[in-house]
């Protein structure tokens, strides 16, 4: 079992070291900011990848950057590993704690420090919730674009760590495109200002802010982020199109993009996913369609209407059996409700589900979906597919029952094969969820030894002692060698004509 | 897709240079040699390593060898109604894609459509040991591994030789329209630009030069017409020529003997008042976020003003190329630059000192 093997990787803190650590932490932080009893530690044993659990050695809840720095310096001195955590909504186990380490929760750094409508920036602490930024900016007619599905709960610090996306990435970009600057503290306790922390479009020298985004808490702890805000588009239009064949739906996506339209959102659901969603929230989806597409355009009213008229024509030309434009805001919200509820909807029809996050070049979609269906049959597990079709980010949901012996293992094996299929199709093992603990073995498939070694070297440039979130995101070369994953490159995967990225 | 792949010979050259400890001055089309600190080392011409490797318009991705002329890339994209969103400047006909990415500069569209680093999806490069490395990919979303492609964008070739670059491209909007409005006061110009940028207008260019505000609108015919009706102003005879001239520094403002400074500041930062400086010595681009200055003032004066405004200053062209050209980072950040340099170029042979001393 994977859940057991992760526990076996690290021994708990020795009683002597733990006592020293607690005594010194309590000197740095208020009494309620250091948690050590098992019932206090239990809520931190996992993030949203709950199959992987282990208790942290200690949990700390600093209130400001100075306290974060003090904790990091102490842990550096005592050589104790540190795992940073936001809201714990990550899907890849990036915030999985260590029994021999400190779990550093940024939840109390939850203030929006500055909203500057003229420069269109928000300066926020890492524990601020994603949605809270747009809510605060709304008074100025502005919003923060990245909108991961967990945006009600997930925090900006976690979004930065994982380079979170959402349903509007094709037009508005990922977190990396919407962060102007970062203040980050290294394991040595150095406060770094990276990029345009005051709202300038860039910073001098190497783009270390871009490097820090998506670094999964391995390079430093973000204590402040300067976010780019955008004017709220006054008009939004959404169309729902039904298809009797999933490949036809995939081609329709290519038609829209080939016609020069960049939709604000372009989502696909297969029959299994759309049925589950329809039964759950009654979004008005055609239950017998093989696939549906949701296509949203936005802008000024004249712009949005003109684009929507073209989108509808293109969808019909591409073979949609039905095209419906939401007549009002209520219907638009209903269309989206089904998509946004897809994961919990699948959760209703299966005791457990496992969400994958591969990205592929869009034109490979039909072959990759065929491949997923074949693998699903071979493993005897159903799969529902939800797809950010505009940017090629695929979320296959494997339905399983953890109570049945062996089913979790079979699910993980199927998940790994699906990711390998994405890599072979010229894609990647993770589009927006991160590698964390979950996909560490698939990194051996995605990258060669030389690249993995450079990743370790980059980490060492920031964290020479290897104390920040150790063991995540980048596998050791030894681990890859043991898996024999490099052998898989020998041409046994499909699409051998493609270069591996 | 044609072109020439010189990876093998470049690898041998790098290995030989590494053995001898000979620094290499990386050069594409040689159109940006004025940029950065003074080049050092034996010139390594990369312009022969060229050609578009893959381009599927419906994927919105192009992959090309770094020595491919920028003009070839933009022409291939234009054939399918697409473009590079960051509108890279070309300071000469021979400008290459690799040079554009190594310098990381963006044209007038950059604040509205993203920077060079925002468009970079993946790359192949040669590191200082002559090893071919591949980071990122050809898909829009990819969070596997550290974002080395974006780290290398704008690194001025100090971390590796770019071999192949994959970029996100954008459809060219159907309608483009330029407007000019008279505005003699630069502070008032900044305020008006800030006001427009707070609104959902289809802007793709916003600049102030010689007492005039320039606006570029792009989108559907309907969207552009609606915005035009709200904004007023005049349509100049040749709007596109202005934006090309601004992008490639061919406007009259740029033909001046004095050193050229680039200040990157928060867009709404107040107009910067400097001694011995007239409003005509400034050109404000990127809606106020990128400000060009022609000045013989001491570098410390310009840098202090940029810092006070919340940004940084680059001695873009002219002046003392042996001194600090880019804003000096804090000691901790400079130390990180040197450690990252050592990761990718342990022998320090690629463009040594071009960015900072020891980098």
Closest Cα in chain B, distance from residue A164 (Å): 9
Q: What DSSP character marks residue B98?
A: H
List the beta strands (DSSP E) in chain B. Answer: 24-27, 42-45, 52-56, 61-65, 82-83, 120-126, 132-136, 161-168, 170-171, 175-182, 203-209, 212-219, 260-264, 282-285, 290-294, 312-317
Is the CB of residue B218 less than 8 Å away from at least one CB of chain A? no
Residues A391 and A475 in one domain: yes
Residues A365 and A458 in one domain: yes
Region A360-380 average pLDDT:
93
Which residues, numbered 40 to 59 in chain B, qualify as contacts with chain A under a Cβ-Cβ cut-off of 8 Å?
A: 56-59
B268 in contact with A, Cβ within 8 Å:
yes
- A495: pLDDT strictly greater than 70: no
Q: Give the chain B residue nearest A190 (alpha carbons).
A: B332
Q: Which of B137, B153, B289 sits opposite A207 (nearest CB)?
A: B153
pLDDT tens by residue, A252-269:
999 999 999 999 999 999
d(CA B352, CA B341): 10
Chain A 257-316, residues with CB within 8 Å of chain B CB atoms: 257-262, 299-303, 305-307
Burial of B108 (0-12, 13-18, 19+ CB in 10 A): buried
pLDDT of residue A41: 97
B191-227 pLDDT, tens per residue? 999 999 999 999 999 999 999 999 999 999 999 999 9
In angstroms, the CA B76 to CA B1 distance is: 11
Question: Please, are residues A203 and A218 in contact by the beta-carbon 8 Å criterion?
Answer: no
CATH of residue A117's domain is: 3.30.465.10
A-chain residues near B53 (CB < 8 A): none
**A427–B144: do the CB atoms touch at under 8 Å?**
no
Q: Are A423 and A445 in contact (CB under 8 A)?
A: yes
Q: Are A286 and A244 in contact (CB under 8 A)?
A: no
Does residue A402 surpass a pLDDT of 50? yes
Q: Cα distance from B257 to chain A (closest Cα, Å)?
A: 25
Q: Using one digit for the tens of pLDDT, what is the confidence trace for B101-126?
A: 999 999 999 999 999 999 999 999 99
Which residues, including other chains, have CB under 8 Å from residue B20's CB and lie 6 or more apart?
A: none
Nearest Cβ partner for A457 among B135, B225, B343: B343
Q: Are residues A387 and A335 in the same domain?
A: no
Query: Degrees (nearest 5) of the Cα angle A163, A169, A171?
Result: 140
Q: A398 phi and psi, to 5 degrees?
A: -90, 125
Band (pLDDT 50/70/90 cuts) for residue A149 is: confident
> Contacts of residue A431 in chain B, CB cutoff 8 Å?
139-143
Rg (CA), chain B: 21
Which CATH number fits the domain that encloses residue A302? Answer: 3.30.70.2190
Residue in B closest to A261 by C-alpha: B171
| Residue whose C-alpha is closest to residue B327's, from B297, B305, B294, B352 | B305
Chain A residue numbers with beta carbons less than 8 Å from the beta carbon of B111 are 201
A447 touches chain B (CB under 8 A): yes
Predicted local confidence at residue A343, as pLDDT:
87
Judged against a pLDDT cut of 60, whether residue A248 lies above it is answered with yes
Residue of chain B whose alpha carbon sits nearest to that of A233: B200
pLDDT value of residue B129: 97
Burial of A112 (0-12, 13-18, 19+ CB in 10 A): middle
- The reply to whether B311 touches chain A by the CB within 8 Å rule is yes
Cα–Cα distance between B215 and B202 in angstroms, integer?
Answer: 10
* Shared-domain flag, residues A419 and A454: yes
Strand extents, DSSP E, B187-311: 203-209, 212-219, 260-264, 282-285, 290-294
Q: Does A458 touch chain B (CB under 8 A)?
A: yes
Kind and range of the H or E element at A352? strand A352-355
Q: In what order do the strands lie in the sheet with A34-35?
A: A34-35, A58-60, A102-105, A82-85
B219 touches chain A (CB under 8 A): yes
Cβ A44 vs Cβ A88: under 8 Å: yes
Q: Which residues contact A177 (CB under 8 A, 6 or more apart)?
A: B114, B118
The CA distance from A246 to A24, in Å, is: 59
Residues A402 and A431 in one domain: yes
Q: Which among A140, A146, A205, A446 is the top mutation candidate for probing chain B, defined by the most B β-carbons within 10 Å of its own β-carbon?
A: A205
Contact B132, B169 (CB under 8 A): no
Lowest mean pLDDT among A354-368, B71-85, B238-252: A354-368
Nearest residue on chain B to A449, alpha-carbon basis: B133
Q: Is B171 on the interface with A (CB under 8 A)?
A: yes
Mean of pLDDT values over A331-347: 91
Give the CA-trace dihedral at A134, A136, A138, A140, to 10 degrees.
-130
Maximum Cα interatomic distance, chain B, rounded to a whole number of Å: 65
- Do residues A113 and A183 touch, judged by C-beta distance below 8 A? no
- The pLDDT assigned to A9 comes to 58
- Nearest-CA distance A449 → chain B (Å): 10
CA distance B189 to chain A (A): 13
- The C-alpha angle with vertex B353 and arms to B350 and B357, in degrees rounded to 5, equals 140
Q: Please state, rounded to an integer, the average pLDDT across all residues of chain A.
A: 92
| Mean predicted confidence (pLDDT) in B330-358 | 97
Out of A306-310, A479-483, B46-50, B342-346, which region has the weakest mean confidence (pLDDT)?
A479-483
Closest CA in chain B for residue A142: B198
Q: Other C-beta atoms within 10 Å of A11: how many? A: 10
The closest of B335, B277, B57, B220 to A363, measured between CA atoms, is B57
Residue among B137, B222, B355 minimizing CB distance to A306:
B222
- The verdict on A96 and A167 lying in the same domain is no
User: Is residue A282 predicted with pLDDT exceeding 50?
Assistant: yes
> What does the alpha-carbon distance between residue A233 and residue A355 come to, in Å, rounded to a whole number?
31
The answer, yes or no, to whether residue A487 has pLDDT greater than 70, is no
- Asked if the model's pLDDT at residue A10 lies above 90, the reply is no
Q: Which of A294, A254, A255, A257 is nearest to A274 (CA)?
A: A294
Please tell me what DSSP assigns to residue A436.
Answer: T
Q: Which residues constitute the domain of residue A376?
A: 350-499
Where are chain B's structural domains?
Answer: 7-171+338-344, 175-317
**What is the mean predicted confidence (pLDDT) over B17-27?**
97
Q: Do residues B68 and B131 make contact, with C-beta atoms less than 8 angstroms apart? A: no
CB hemisphere CA count around A320 (13 angstroms):
24
φ/ψ of A417, rounded to 5, equals: -65, -35
d(C-alpha B351, C-alpha B27), whole Å: 10
* Closest-approach residue (CA) in chain B for A435: B144
What does the alpha-carbon distance between residue B252 and residue A155 come to, in Å, rounded to a whole number? 48
pLDDT tens profile B56-105:
999 999 999 999 999 999 999 999 999 999 999 999 999 999 999 999 99
A101 shares its domain with A116: no
Cβ within 8 Å, pair B333-A117 = no
CA distance B104 to chain A (A): 10
Last residue of a domain, one of A345, A370, A402: A345
Nearest to A311, CA basis, from A375, A236, A376: A236
Mean per-residue pLDDT of chain B: 97
CB B4 within 8 A of CB B51: yes
Query: For residue A463, what are the CA distances in angstroms to A12, A339, A469, B14, B345?
Result: 22, 40, 10, 29, 19
Do both A253 and A382 map to the same domain?
no
Which string of b and e fits B226-264 if b means at least 16 CB within 10 Å? bbbeebeeeeeeebeebbbbbbbbebebbeeeebbbbbb
Q: What is the spatial distance between Cα B106 and Cα B100, in angstroms, rounded to a whole number?
A: 9
Q: Would you tell me which residues 353-412 of chain A have a C-beta closer than 8 angstroms to some C-beta of chain B? A: 359-363, 388, 390-393
Residue A340: its pLDDT value, please? Answer: 85
pLDDT at B37 over 90: yes
Helices (H), A240-300: 246-258, 271-281
User: Average pLDDT for residues B340-354, to the nearest whole number?
Assistant: 98
Instruction: Give me the phi and psi of A105, to 5 degrees please.
Output: -85, 130
List, in sequence order, every residue forming a beta bridge with A238; answer none if it has no partner: A296
Give me the percent of chain A exceeding a pLDDT of 70: 95
For the ranges A5-14, A61-70, A408-417, B33-42, the lowest mean pLDDT is seen at A5-14
Indicate whether A500 pLDDT > 80: no
* Interface mutation vs chain A, best among B54, B103, B141, most A CBs within 10 Å: B141
Are A363 and B222 a contacting pair at CB < 8 A? no
If asked whether residues A355 and A488 sit together in one domain, one would say: yes
Answer whether A198 sits within 8 Å of B155, measured CB to CB. no
| Interface predicted TM-score of the whole assembly (ipTM), two decimals | 0.98
Q: Structural domain tally of chain A?
A: 4
With DSSP H G I counted as helix, E B as strand and the rest as coil, what are the percentages for chain B, rounded to 5?
30, 25, 45
- The mean pLDDT value for B118-147 works out to 96
If you average pLDDT over residues A131-155, what whole number do you get? 96
- Contact B161/B61 with Cβ under 8 angstroms? no
Q: Among A282, A224, A264, A274, which residue's Cα sits nearest to residue A244?
A: A274
- From A90, A105, A120, the end of a domain falls on A105
Which residue, of A322, A345, A368, is where some domain finishes?
Answer: A345
Q: Give the model's pLDDT for residue A498.
A: 40
Q: Which residues contact A409 (CB under 8 A, 6 or more apart)?
A: A1, A2
Interface of A with B in 411-430 (CB under 8 A): 426-430
Pair (A127, A144) in one structural domain: yes
- Could you please report the per-residue DSSP string of B72-89? HHHHHHHHTTEE-TT---
Task: State percent of chain B over pLDDT 90.
Answer: 99
Which CATH number, 3.40.47.10, 3.30.465.10, 3.20.20.70, 3.20.20.190, labels domain B7-171+338-344? Answer: 3.30.465.10
């Amino acid at each position: 079992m994977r859940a057991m093997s992760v526990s076996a990787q690290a021994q708990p803190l020795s009683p002597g070291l733990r006592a020293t650590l607690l005594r010194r932490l309590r000197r740095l932080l208020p009494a309620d900011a250091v948690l050590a009893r098992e019932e206090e530690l239990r809520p931190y044993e996992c993030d949203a990848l709950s199959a992987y659990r282990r208790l942290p050695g200690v949990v700390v809840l600093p209130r400001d950057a100075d306290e974060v720095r003090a904790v990091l310096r102490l842990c550096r001195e005592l050589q104790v590993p540190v795992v940073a955590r936001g809201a714990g909504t990550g899907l890849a186990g990036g915030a999985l704690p260590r029994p021999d380490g400190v779990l550093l929760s940024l939840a109390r750094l939850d203030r929006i420090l500055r909203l500057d409508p003229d420069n269109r920036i928000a300066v926020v602490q890492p524990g601020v919730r994603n949605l809270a930024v747009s809510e605060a900016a709304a008074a100025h007619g502005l919003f923060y674009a990245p909108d991961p599905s967990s945006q009600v709960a997930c925090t900006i610090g976690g979004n930065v760590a994982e380079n979170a996306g959402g349903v509007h990435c094709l037009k508005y970009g990922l977190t990396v495109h919407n962060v102007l600057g970062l203040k980050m503290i290294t394991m040595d306790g150095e406060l770094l200002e990276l990029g345009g922390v005051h709202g300038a479009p860039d910073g001098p020298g190497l783009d270390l802010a871009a490097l820090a985004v998506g670094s999964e808490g391995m390079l430093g702890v973000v204590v402040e982020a300067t976010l780019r805000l955008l004017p709220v588009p006054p008009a939004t239009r959404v169309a729902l199109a039904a298809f009797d064949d999933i490949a036809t739906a995939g081609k329709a996506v290519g038609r829209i993009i080939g016609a020069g339209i960049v939709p604000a959102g372009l989502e696909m659901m297969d029959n299994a996913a759309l049925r589950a969603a329809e039964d759950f929230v009654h979004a008005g989806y055609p239950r017998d369609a093989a696939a549906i597409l949701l296509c949203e355009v936005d802008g000024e009213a004249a712009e949005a209407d003109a684009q929507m008229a073209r989108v509808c024509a293109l969808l019909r030309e591409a073979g949609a059996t039905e095209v419906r434009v939401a007549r009002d805001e209520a219907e638009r919200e209903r269309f989206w409700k089904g998509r946004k509820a897809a994961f919990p909807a699948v959760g209703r029809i299966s005791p457990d589900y496992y969400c994958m996050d591969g990205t592929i070049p869009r034109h490979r979609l039909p072959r990759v979906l065929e491949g997923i269906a074949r693998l699903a049959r071979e493993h005897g597990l159903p799969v529902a597919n939800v797809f950010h079709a505009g940017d090629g980010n695929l979320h296959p949901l494997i339905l399983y029952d953890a109570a049945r012996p062996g089913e979790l293992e079979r699910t993980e094996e199927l998940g790994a094969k699906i990711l390998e299929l994405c890599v072979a199709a010229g894609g990647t093992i993770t589009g927006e969820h991160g590698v964390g603990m979950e996909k560490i073995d698939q990194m051996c498939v995605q990258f060669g030894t030389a690249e993995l070694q450079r990743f370790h070297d980059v980490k060492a440039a920031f964290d020479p002692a290897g104390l920040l979130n150790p063991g995540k995101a980048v596998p050791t070369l030894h681990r890859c060698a043991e898996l024999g994953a490099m052998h898989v490159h020998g041409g046994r995967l499909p699409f051998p004509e493609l270069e591996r990225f | 897709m044609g072109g020439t792949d010189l990876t093998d010979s470049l690898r041998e050259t790098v290995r030989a240079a590494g053995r001898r400890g000979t620094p290499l001055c990386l050069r594409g089309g040689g159109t940006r040699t004025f940029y950065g600190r003074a080049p050092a080392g034996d010139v390594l011409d990369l312009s022969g390593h060229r050609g578009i490797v893959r381009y599927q318009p419906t994927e919105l991705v192009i992959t090309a060898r770094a020595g491919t002329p920028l003009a070839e890339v933009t022409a291939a994209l234009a054939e399918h109604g697409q473009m590079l969103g960051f509108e890279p400047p070309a300071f000469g006909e021979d400008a290459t894609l690799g040079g554009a990415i190594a310098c990381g500069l963006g044209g007038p569209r950059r604040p509205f459509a993203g920077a060079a680093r925002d468009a970079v999806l993946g790359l192949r490069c040669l590191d200082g040991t002559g090893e071919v490395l591949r980071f990122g990919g050809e898909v829009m979303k990819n969070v596997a591994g550290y974002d080395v492609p974006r780290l290398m964008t704008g690194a001025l070739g100090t971390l590796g030789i770019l071999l192949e670059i994959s970029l996100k491209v954008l459809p060219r909007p159907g309608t483009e329209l330029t407007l000019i409005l008279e505005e003699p006061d630069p502070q008032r110009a900044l305020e008006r630009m800030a006001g427009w940028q707070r609104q959902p207008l289809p802007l793709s260019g916003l600049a102030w030069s010689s007492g005039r505000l320039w606006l570029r609108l792009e989108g559907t015919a309907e969207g552009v017409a609606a915005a035009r009706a709200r904004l007023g102003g005049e349509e100049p005879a040749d709007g596109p020529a202005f934006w090309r001239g601004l992008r490639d520094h061919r406007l009259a403002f740029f033909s001046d003997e004095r050193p050229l400074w680039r200040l990157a500041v928060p867009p709404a930062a107040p107009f910067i008042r400097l001694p011995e400086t007239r409003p005509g010595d400034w050109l404000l681009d990127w809606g106020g976020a990128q400000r060009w200055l022609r000045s013989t003032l001491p570098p410390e004066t310009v840098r202090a003003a940029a810092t006070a405004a919340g940004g940084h200053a680059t001695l873009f062209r002219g002046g003392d190329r042996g001194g600090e050209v880019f804003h000096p980072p804090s000691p901790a950040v400079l130390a990180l630059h040197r450690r990252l340099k050592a990761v990718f170029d342990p022998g320090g042979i690629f463009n040594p000192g071009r960015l900072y001393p020891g980098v």
